[in-house]
Structure 1
Amino acid sequence: MNKSQLENIYKEAHALLEGHFLLSSGNHSTHYLQSAKVLENPQIASQLGDALAAQIKAAGIQADTICSPALGGILAGYELARSLGVRFIFTERVDGQMQLRRGFNIESGERVIVCEDIITTGGSALESARCVEFLGAKVVAYAGLANRGFCVRMDFESRVSGANPKQKKPECRLPDSLPLFALGDFEFEMYAPEECPLCAQNHSKATKPGSRGNS
Protein backbone atom coordinates (compact mmCIF):
# COMPACT_ATOMS: atom_id res chain seq x y z
CA MET A 1 0.00 0.00 0.00
CA ASN A 2 1.33 3.45 -0.91
CA LYS A 3 0.53 6.91 0.44
CA SER A 4 -1.91 7.66 -2.39
CA GLN A 5 -3.95 4.54 -1.65
CA LEU A 6 -3.99 5.36 2.05
CA GLU A 7 -5.13 8.92 1.35
CA ASN A 8 -7.95 7.63 -0.84
CA ILE A 9 -9.11 5.31 1.95
CA TYR A 10 -9.30 8.24 4.38
CA LYS A 11 -11.10 10.44 1.84
CA GLU A 12 -13.65 7.77 0.96
CA ALA A 13 -14.41 7.31 4.66
CA HIS A 14 -14.78 11.10 5.07
CA ALA A 15 -11.94 10.83 7.56
CA LEU A 16 -9.57 13.45 6.11
CA LEU A 17 -11.04 16.57 7.68
CA GLU A 18 -10.31 20.22 6.92
CA GLY A 19 -10.95 23.03 9.39
CA HIS A 20 -9.43 24.27 12.64
CA PHE A 21 -8.41 21.40 14.88
CA LEU A 22 -6.81 20.82 18.26
CA LEU A 23 -4.33 17.93 18.20
CA SER A 24 -3.52 15.66 21.16
CA SER A 25 -0.17 17.43 21.42
CA GLY A 26 -1.99 20.71 22.18
CA ASN A 27 -1.04 22.23 18.83
CA HIS A 28 -3.45 23.40 16.12
CA SER A 29 -3.78 22.22 12.51
CA THR A 30 -5.85 22.81 9.38
CA HIS A 31 -6.29 19.05 8.84
CA TYR A 32 -7.32 16.11 11.00
CA LEU A 33 -7.14 12.38 10.30
CA GLN A 34 -10.17 10.73 11.92
CA SER A 35 -9.05 7.09 11.90
CA ALA A 36 -12.14 5.87 13.76
CA LYS A 37 -14.18 6.53 10.60
CA VAL A 38 -11.79 4.36 8.60
CA LEU A 39 -11.56 1.57 11.15
CA GLU A 40 -15.32 1.21 11.57
CA ASN A 41 -15.10 -0.90 8.41
CA PRO A 42 -13.63 -4.28 9.51
CA GLN A 43 -12.48 -5.20 5.99
CA ILE A 44 -10.54 -1.94 5.62
CA ALA A 45 -9.14 -2.28 9.15
CA SER A 46 -7.90 -5.77 8.28
CA GLN A 47 -6.34 -4.51 5.03
CA LEU A 48 -4.47 -1.73 6.83
CA GLY A 49 -3.27 -4.08 9.56
CA ASP A 50 -1.95 -6.54 6.98
CA ALA A 51 -0.13 -3.79 5.05
CA LEU A 52 1.53 -2.48 8.21
CA ALA A 53 2.48 -6.00 9.30
CA ALA A 54 4.06 -6.62 5.88
CA GLN A 55 6.42 -3.67 6.40
CA ILE A 56 7.45 -4.95 9.81
CA LYS A 57 8.03 -8.49 8.56
CA ALA A 58 10.08 -7.20 5.62
CA ALA A 59 12.33 -5.34 8.06
CA GLY A 60 12.91 -8.50 10.07
CA ILE A 61 11.47 -7.04 13.29
CA GLN A 62 10.35 -9.74 15.73
CA ALA A 63 7.74 -8.96 18.37
CA ASP A 64 5.88 -10.89 21.04
CA THR A 65 3.23 -8.26 21.73
CA ILE A 66 1.61 -5.14 20.28
CA CYS A 67 0.76 -2.41 22.78
CA SER A 68 -1.37 0.64 21.97
CA PRO A 69 -2.33 3.74 23.95
CA ALA A 70 -6.07 3.96 24.54
CA LEU A 71 -8.29 4.98 23.05
CA GLY A 72 -7.25 5.95 19.55
CA GLY A 73 -4.63 3.26 18.97
CA ILE A 74 -6.64 0.24 20.10
CA LEU A 75 -8.21 -0.83 16.79
CA ALA A 76 -5.04 -0.22 14.76
CA GLY A 77 -2.94 -2.10 17.28
CA TYR A 78 -5.37 -5.00 17.47
CA GLU A 79 -5.38 -5.43 13.70
CA LEU A 80 -1.58 -5.31 13.58
CA ALA A 81 -1.37 -7.95 16.33
CA ARG A 82 -3.87 -10.15 14.47
CA SER A 83 -1.84 -9.96 11.27
CA LEU A 84 1.46 -10.66 13.04
CA GLY A 85 -0.06 -13.50 15.09
CA VAL A 86 0.92 -12.02 18.46
CA ARG A 87 -1.02 -10.88 21.51
CA PHE A 88 -2.42 -7.39 22.00
CA ILE A 89 -2.56 -5.16 25.09
CA PHE A 90 -3.25 -1.49 25.69
CA THR A 91 -2.30 1.21 28.16
CA GLU A 92 -4.67 3.90 29.42
CA ARG A 93 -4.35 7.16 31.28
CA VAL A 94 -5.35 7.25 34.93
CA ASP A 95 -5.08 10.63 36.63
CA GLY A 96 -2.95 11.80 33.70
CA GLN A 97 -0.48 8.90 33.83
CA MET A 98 -0.28 6.03 31.36
CA GLN A 99 -0.82 2.67 33.06
CA LEU A 100 -1.19 -1.00 32.17
CA ARG A 101 -4.39 -2.30 33.77
CA ARG A 102 -7.22 -4.85 33.23
CA GLY A 103 -5.07 -7.84 34.18
CA PHE A 104 -2.49 -7.28 31.43
CA ASN A 105 1.04 -8.31 32.36
CA ILE A 106 4.54 -8.02 30.89
CA GLU A 107 7.28 -10.63 31.02
CA SER A 108 10.87 -9.54 31.46
CA GLY A 109 12.46 -9.04 28.04
CA GLU A 110 9.13 -9.28 26.17
CA ARG A 111 9.52 -7.68 22.73
CA VAL A 112 6.87 -5.01 22.17
CA ILE A 113 5.86 -2.85 19.22
CA VAL A 114 3.94 0.25 20.26
CA CYS A 115 1.21 1.00 17.72
CA GLU A 116 -0.91 4.15 17.28
CA ASP A 117 -3.50 5.05 14.67
CA ILE A 118 -1.78 8.36 13.85
CA ILE A 119 1.76 9.32 14.83
CA THR A 120 1.98 13.08 15.32
CA THR A 121 4.75 13.93 17.79
CA GLY A 122 4.72 10.38 19.14
CA GLY A 123 4.00 11.59 22.66
CA SER A 124 1.29 9.05 23.53
CA ALA A 125 3.26 6.20 21.96
CA LEU A 126 6.32 7.18 23.99
CA GLU A 127 4.25 7.22 27.19
CA SER A 128 3.04 3.69 26.45
CA ALA A 129 6.58 2.56 25.69
CA ARG A 130 7.90 3.90 28.98
CA CYS A 131 5.05 2.24 30.83
CA VAL A 132 5.79 -1.26 29.49
CA GLU A 133 9.56 -0.76 29.67
CA PHE A 134 9.19 0.02 33.38
CA LEU A 135 7.52 -3.39 33.73
CA GLY A 136 10.39 -5.17 31.95
CA ALA A 137 9.48 -5.04 28.25
CA LYS A 138 11.90 -4.35 25.42
CA VAL A 139 10.32 -1.94 22.92
CA VAL A 140 11.63 -2.87 19.44
CA ALA A 141 9.70 -0.48 17.17
CA TYR A 142 6.90 2.05 16.83
CA ALA A 143 4.10 1.87 14.27
CA GLY A 144 1.06 3.79 13.05
CA LEU A 145 -1.37 3.73 10.18
CA ALA A 146 -0.25 7.22 9.19
CA ASN A 147 2.54 9.58 10.18
CA ARG A 148 2.04 13.35 10.22
CA GLY A 149 5.64 13.88 9.15
CA PHE A 150 7.25 15.14 12.36
CA CYS A 151 8.94 11.80 13.00
CA VAL A 152 10.88 9.86 10.36
CA ARG A 153 9.33 6.53 9.42
CA MET A 154 11.06 3.46 8.02
CA ASP A 155 11.27 4.32 4.31
CA PHE A 156 12.41 1.33 2.26
CA GLU A 157 12.39 3.17 -1.07
CA SER A 158 14.87 5.76 0.22
CA ARG A 159 17.08 3.06 1.70
CA VAL A 160 17.17 1.14 -1.58
CA SER A 161 17.76 4.22 -3.72
CA GLY A 162 20.37 5.66 -1.39
CA ALA A 163 18.50 8.96 -1.12
CA ASN A 164 19.32 11.24 1.77
CA PRO A 165 17.14 10.30 4.75
CA LYS A 166 14.59 12.80 6.00
CA GLN A 167 15.35 14.65 9.20
CA LYS A 168 12.86 14.48 12.02
CA LYS A 169 11.37 17.76 13.22
CA PRO A 170 12.00 19.16 16.70
CA GLU A 171 8.44 18.30 17.77
CA CYS A 172 9.11 14.56 17.38
CA ARG A 173 9.44 12.80 20.73
CA LEU A 174 10.25 9.30 19.49
CA PRO A 175 13.84 8.05 19.91
CA ASP A 176 16.17 7.86 16.93
CA SER A 177 17.34 4.39 18.01
CA LEU A 178 14.12 2.56 17.04
CA PRO A 179 12.33 2.29 13.67
CA LEU A 180 8.94 3.84 12.99
CA PHE A 181 6.64 2.07 10.54
CA ALA A 182 3.65 3.76 8.87
CA LEU A 183 1.70 3.38 5.65
CA GLY A 184 2.26 6.98 4.58
CA ASP A 185 3.16 10.52 5.58
CA PHE A 186 0.58 13.32 5.78
CA GLU A 187 2.65 16.46 6.20
CA PHE A 188 0.08 19.04 7.30
CA GLU A 189 1.04 22.31 8.94
CA MET A 190 0.91 22.40 12.72
CA TYR A 191 0.99 25.52 14.90
CA ALA A 192 1.54 26.33 18.53
CA PRO A 193 -1.74 27.83 19.86
CA GLU A 194 -0.18 31.27 20.33
CA GLU A 195 1.14 31.23 16.73
CA CYS A 196 -1.94 29.75 15.01
CA PRO A 197 -2.99 31.87 11.99
CA LEU A 198 -6.50 30.39 12.12
CA CYS A 199 -6.96 31.75 15.61
CA ALA A 200 -5.58 35.14 14.55
CA GLN A 201 -7.51 35.44 11.28
CA ASN A 202 -10.82 33.76 12.01
CA HIS A 203 -11.03 34.03 15.77
CA SER A 204 -12.48 30.50 15.67
CA LYS A 205 -12.03 27.92 18.37
CA ALA A 206 -10.01 24.81 17.55
CA THR A 207 -12.09 21.65 17.93
CA LYS A 208 -10.91 18.13 18.60
CA PRO A 209 -12.86 15.34 16.91
CA GLY A 210 -10.60 12.66 18.40
CA SER A 211 -10.82 10.51 21.51
CA ARG A 212 -9.82 13.23 23.96
CA GLY A 213 -11.85 16.41 23.82
CA ASN A 214 -14.75 17.08 21.49
CA SER A 215 -16.62 14.13 20.04
Structure 2
Amino acid sequence: MNVREIYEKYGALLKGHFLLSSGKHSEYYLQSARVLEYPEVAEKLAKELAKEIKKAGVEVDTICSPAIGGLLAGYELARALGVRFIFTERVKGEMTLRRGFEVKEGEKVLICEDIITTGGSAMEAAREIEKRGGEIVGFAAIANRGVCKRVNGKTNRKNECKLPENKPFFALEDFEFEVYNPEECPMCKMGACGPIKPGSRGN
Protein backbone atom coordinates (compact mmCIF):
# COMPACT_ATOMS: atom_id res chain seq x y z
CA MET A 1 0.00 0.00 0.00
CA ASN A 2 1.41 3.39 -1.01
CA VAL A 3 0.09 5.68 1.73
CA ARG A 4 1.83 8.75 0.31
CA GLU A 5 -0.06 8.31 -2.96
CA ILE A 6 -3.33 8.03 -1.04
CA TYR A 7 -2.61 11.28 0.83
CA GLU A 8 -1.77 13.04 -2.43
CA LYS A 9 -4.85 11.65 -4.20
CA TYR A 10 -7.22 13.02 -1.56
CA GLY A 11 -5.48 16.36 -1.13
CA ALA A 12 -4.23 15.51 2.34
CA LEU A 13 -0.56 16.34 1.71
CA LEU A 14 -0.63 20.13 1.80
CA LYS A 15 2.09 22.46 0.60
CA GLY A 16 2.34 26.03 1.84
CA HIS A 17 3.56 27.79 4.97
CA PHE A 18 2.37 26.15 8.18
CA LEU A 19 2.72 26.76 11.90
CA LEU A 20 3.00 23.43 13.74
CA SER A 21 1.88 22.74 17.30
CA SER A 22 5.57 22.73 18.29
CA GLY A 23 5.79 26.39 17.26
CA LYS A 24 8.03 25.53 14.32
CA HIS A 25 7.30 26.23 10.65
CA SER A 26 7.04 23.75 7.76
CA GLU A 27 6.40 23.86 4.03
CA TYR A 28 4.27 20.70 4.27
CA TYR A 29 1.35 19.58 6.41
CA LEU A 30 -0.55 16.29 6.64
CA GLN A 31 -4.31 16.73 6.92
CA SER A 32 -5.47 13.17 7.57
CA ALA A 33 -9.10 14.24 7.89
CA ARG A 34 -9.13 14.63 4.09
CA VAL A 35 -8.32 10.93 3.76
CA LEU A 36 -10.46 9.64 6.61
CA GLU A 37 -13.59 11.46 5.42
CA TYR A 38 -14.02 8.55 3.00
CA PRO A 39 -15.12 5.50 5.08
CA GLU A 40 -13.93 2.96 2.53
CA VAL A 41 -10.44 4.50 2.53
CA ALA A 42 -10.34 4.73 6.33
CA GLU A 43 -11.37 1.08 6.57
CA LYS A 44 -8.67 0.02 4.11
CA LEU A 45 -5.93 1.90 5.99
CA ALA A 46 -7.08 0.58 9.37
CA LYS A 47 -7.12 -3.02 8.15
CA GLU A 48 -3.54 -2.63 6.92
CA LEU A 49 -2.51 -1.18 10.28
CA ALA A 50 -4.30 -4.00 12.11
CA LYS A 51 -2.27 -6.53 10.09
CA GLU A 52 0.97 -4.99 11.39
CA ILE A 53 -0.25 -5.16 14.99
CA LYS A 54 -1.43 -8.76 14.68
CA LYS A 55 1.81 -9.77 12.96
CA ALA A 56 3.77 -8.40 15.93
CA GLY A 57 1.67 -10.50 18.30
CA VAL A 58 0.52 -7.53 20.40
CA GLU A 59 -2.55 -8.41 22.47
CA VAL A 60 -5.10 -5.56 22.53
CA ASP A 61 -8.35 -5.30 24.51
CA THR A 62 -9.18 -1.69 23.71
CA ILE A 63 -8.18 1.14 21.40
CA CYS A 64 -8.06 4.63 22.88
CA SER A 65 -7.64 7.80 20.83
CA PRO A 66 -7.09 11.39 21.91
CA ALA A 67 -9.84 13.63 20.51
CA ILE A 68 -10.30 15.01 18.07
CA GLY A 69 -7.78 14.09 15.41
CA GLY A 70 -7.43 10.43 16.36
CA LEU A 71 -11.12 9.54 16.58
CA LEU A 72 -11.75 8.22 13.07
CA ALA A 73 -8.46 6.35 12.81
CA GLY A 74 -8.91 4.82 16.26
CA TYR A 75 -12.50 3.77 15.67
CA GLU A 76 -11.65 2.06 12.38
CA LEU A 77 -8.62 0.33 13.90
CA ALA A 78 -10.77 -0.98 16.77
CA ARG A 79 -13.27 -2.29 14.23
CA ALA A 80 -10.49 -3.97 12.23
CA LEU A 81 -9.13 -5.63 15.38
CA GLY A 82 -12.58 -6.49 16.75
CA VAL A 83 -12.03 -4.67 20.04
CA ARG A 84 -13.61 -1.85 22.06
CA PHE A 85 -13.01 1.82 21.30
CA ILE A 86 -12.85 4.73 23.76
CA PHE A 87 -11.41 8.23 23.59
CA THR A 88 -9.96 10.94 25.79
CA GLU A 89 -10.67 14.65 25.37
CA ARG A 90 -9.30 17.89 26.73
CA VAL A 91 -11.05 19.45 29.71
CA LYS A 92 -9.53 22.76 30.75
CA GLY A 93 -6.39 21.80 28.83
CA GLU A 94 -5.97 18.34 30.38
CA MET A 95 -6.60 15.04 28.57
CA THR A 96 -9.44 13.29 30.38
CA LEU A 97 -11.50 10.12 30.06
CA ARG A 98 -15.19 11.09 30.25
CA ARG A 99 -18.66 10.05 28.97
CA GLY A 100 -18.89 7.04 31.25
CA PHE A 101 -15.87 5.29 29.73
CA GLU A 102 -14.16 2.94 32.17
CA VAL A 103 -10.88 1.04 32.11
CA LYS A 104 -10.46 -2.21 34.02
CA GLU A 105 -7.35 -2.99 36.04
CA GLY A 106 -4.81 -4.56 33.67
CA GLU A 107 -6.85 -3.86 30.52
CA LYS A 108 -4.52 -3.88 27.52
CA VAL A 109 -4.92 -0.56 25.70
CA LEU A 110 -3.30 0.62 22.47
CA ILE A 111 -3.26 4.39 21.82
CA CYS A 112 -4.14 5.37 18.23
CA GLU A 113 -3.73 8.72 16.45
CA ASP A 114 -4.20 9.75 12.84
CA ILE A 115 -0.68 11.22 12.78
CA ILE A 116 2.08 11.06 15.37
CA THR A 117 4.75 13.72 15.36
CA THR A 118 6.40 13.81 18.80
CA GLY A 119 3.67 11.71 20.42
CA GLY A 120 2.76 14.37 22.99
CA SER A 121 -1.02 13.97 22.77
CA ALA A 122 -0.72 10.19 22.63
CA MET A 123 1.30 10.22 25.85
CA GLU A 124 -1.27 12.43 27.57
CA ALA A 125 -3.95 9.86 26.70
CA ALA A 126 -1.66 7.03 27.82
CA ARG A 127 -1.10 8.61 31.23
CA GLU A 128 -4.86 8.97 31.72
CA ILE A 129 -5.35 5.28 30.91
CA GLU A 130 -2.53 4.20 33.22
CA LYS A 131 -3.91 6.36 36.00
CA ARG A 132 -7.09 4.26 35.84
CA GLY A 133 -5.25 0.93 35.94
CA GLY A 134 -4.95 0.18 32.24
CA GLU A 135 -1.80 -1.21 30.63
CA ILE A 136 -0.44 0.55 27.55
CA VAL A 137 0.69 -2.11 25.07
CA GLY A 138 1.67 0.17 22.19
CA PHE A 139 0.93 3.13 19.96
CA ALA A 140 -0.35 3.40 16.41
CA ALA A 141 -1.01 5.99 13.71
CA ILE A 142 -1.82 6.07 10.03
CA ALA A 143 1.17 8.35 9.41
CA ASN A 144 4.45 8.95 11.24
CA ARG A 145 6.07 12.35 10.89
CA GLY A 146 9.50 10.75 11.31
CA VAL A 147 10.33 12.03 14.80
CA CYS A 148 9.58 8.66 16.41
CA LYS A 149 10.68 5.29 15.07
CA ARG A 150 7.91 2.92 14.01
CA VAL A 151 8.09 -0.87 13.82
CA ASN A 152 9.86 -1.75 10.54
CA GLY A 153 10.33 1.95 9.78
CA LYS A 154 13.38 3.50 8.14
CA THR A 155 13.65 6.68 10.19
CA ASN A 156 15.66 6.96 13.39
CA ARG A 157 14.22 8.10 16.69
CA LYS A 158 14.90 11.77 17.36
CA ASN A 159 15.38 13.49 20.70
CA GLU A 160 11.96 15.18 20.49
CA CYS A 161 10.11 11.85 20.45
CA LYS A 162 8.00 11.44 23.59
CA LEU A 163 6.86 7.87 23.04
CA PRO A 164 8.52 5.29 25.34
CA GLU A 165 11.25 3.22 23.69
CA ASN A 166 10.00 0.01 25.32
CA LYS A 167 6.55 0.13 23.65
CA PRO A 168 5.98 -0.65 19.94
CA PHE A 169 4.81 2.12 17.61
CA PHE A 170 2.98 1.05 14.46
CA ALA A 171 2.36 3.28 11.43
CA LEU A 172 1.88 2.79 7.70
CA GLU A 173 4.26 5.43 6.34
CA ASP A 174 7.03 7.81 7.36
CA PHE A 175 6.65 11.42 6.23
CA GLU A 176 9.84 13.38 6.92
CA PHE A 177 9.60 17.10 6.23
CA GLU A 178 12.00 19.89 7.09
CA VAL A 179 10.83 22.01 10.01
CA TYR A 180 12.29 25.37 10.99
CA ASN A 181 12.47 27.65 13.97
CA PRO A 182 10.56 30.85 13.07
CA GLU A 183 13.76 32.92 12.92
CA GLU A 184 15.32 30.40 10.50
CA CYS A 185 12.26 29.78 8.31
CA PRO A 186 13.12 30.27 4.59
CA MET A 187 9.48 31.08 3.75
CA CYS A 188 9.51 33.92 6.28
CA LYS A 189 12.84 35.17 4.93
CA MET A 190 11.37 35.24 1.42
CA GLY A 191 8.56 37.47 2.68
CA ALA A 192 5.86 34.82 2.44
CA CYS A 193 2.55 35.43 4.17
CA GLY A 194 2.40 34.41 7.81
CA PRO A 195 2.07 30.67 8.50
CA ILE A 196 -1.41 29.19 8.85
CA LYS A 197 -2.58 26.85 11.62
CA PRO A 198 -4.58 23.99 10.06
CA GLY A 199 -4.61 21.68 13.10
CA SER A 200 -7.71 20.62 15.03
CA ARG A 201 -6.58 22.71 18.03
CA GLY A 202 -6.00 25.78 15.92
CA ASN A 203 -2.28 25.11 16.05
Instruction: Please state which band the TM-score falls in when normalised by the shorter chain.
Output: over 0.9
- In the alignment, residue 179 of structure 1 is paired with which amino acid? P
Q: State the alpha-carbon separation in 1 of the partners of residues 94 and 184 from structure 2.
A: 28
Q: State the alpha-carbon separation in 1 of the partners of residues 102 and 167 from structure 2.
A: 23
Q: State the alpha-carbon separation in 2 of the partners of residues 195 and 122 from structure 1.
A: 24
Q: State the alpha-carbon separation in 2 of the partners of residues 167 and 117 from structure 1.
A: 20
Q: CA deviation at 1:29?
A: 1.2
Q: State the alpha-carbon separation in 2 of the partners of residues 64 and 193 from structure 1.
A: 42
Counterpart residue number, 2:3: 6
Counterpart residue number, 2:38: 41
1:19 aligns with 2:8: no
Match of 2:162 among 173, 183, 190: 173
1:107 aligns with 2:96: no
Preserved contact between residue 106 and residue 135 of structure 1 (Cα < 8 Å) = yes
Q: State the alpha-carbon separation in 1 of the partners of residues 126 and 184 from structure 2.
A: 31
Q: State the alpha-carbon separation in 2 of the partners of residues 29 and 147 from structure 1.
A: 15
Preserved contact between residue 25 and residue 123 of structure 1 (Cα < 8 Å) = no
Classify the secondary structure of the residue corresponding to 2:113. Answer: strand
Deviates more, 1:196-205 or 1:133-142: 196-205
Q: CA deviation at 1:198?
A: 2.2
Q: CA deviation at 1:166?
A: 4.7
Q: What whole-Å deviation, never above 9, does each CA across 1:167-214 have from its counterpart, x for those lacking one?
A: 311111111111110001000112233433322332532112221117
Deviates more, 1:83-92 or 1:202-211: 202-211
Counterpart residue number, 1:161: none
Classify the secondary structure of the residue corresponding to 1:202. Answer: coil
Classify the secondary structure of the residue corresponding to 1:121. Answer: coil
Q: State the alpha-carbon separation in 2 of the partners of residues 201 and 26 from structure 1.
A: 19
List aligned pairs for 1:54-203, cutoff 5 A: 54-155=51-152, 166-203=155-192
Match of 1:204 among 186, 193, 198: 193
In structure 1, runs of 5+ residues without a counterpart are 159-164
Q: State the alpha-carbon separation in 1 of the partners of residues 128 and 180 from structure 2.
A: 29
- Normalising by structure 2, what TM-score? 0.95
| Identical positions, percent | 61
How many residues are matched? 203
Q: State the alpha-carbon separation in 1 of the partners of residues 135 and 16 from structure 2.
A: 39
Counterpart residue number, 1:162: none
Q: State the alpha-carbon separation in 2 of the partners of residues 140 and 31 from structure 1.
A: 31
- In the alignment, residue 159 of structure 2 is paired with which amino acid? P
Q: What whole-Å deviation, never above 9, does each CA across 1:106-131 have from its counterpart, x for those lacking one?
A: 11111010000001111111111111
Give the aligned CA root-mean-square deviation in angstroms.
1.4
- In the alignment, residue 182 of structure 2 is paired with which amino acid? P
Deviates more, 1:178-187 or 1:193-202: 193-202
In structure 2, runs of 5+ residues without a counterpart are none
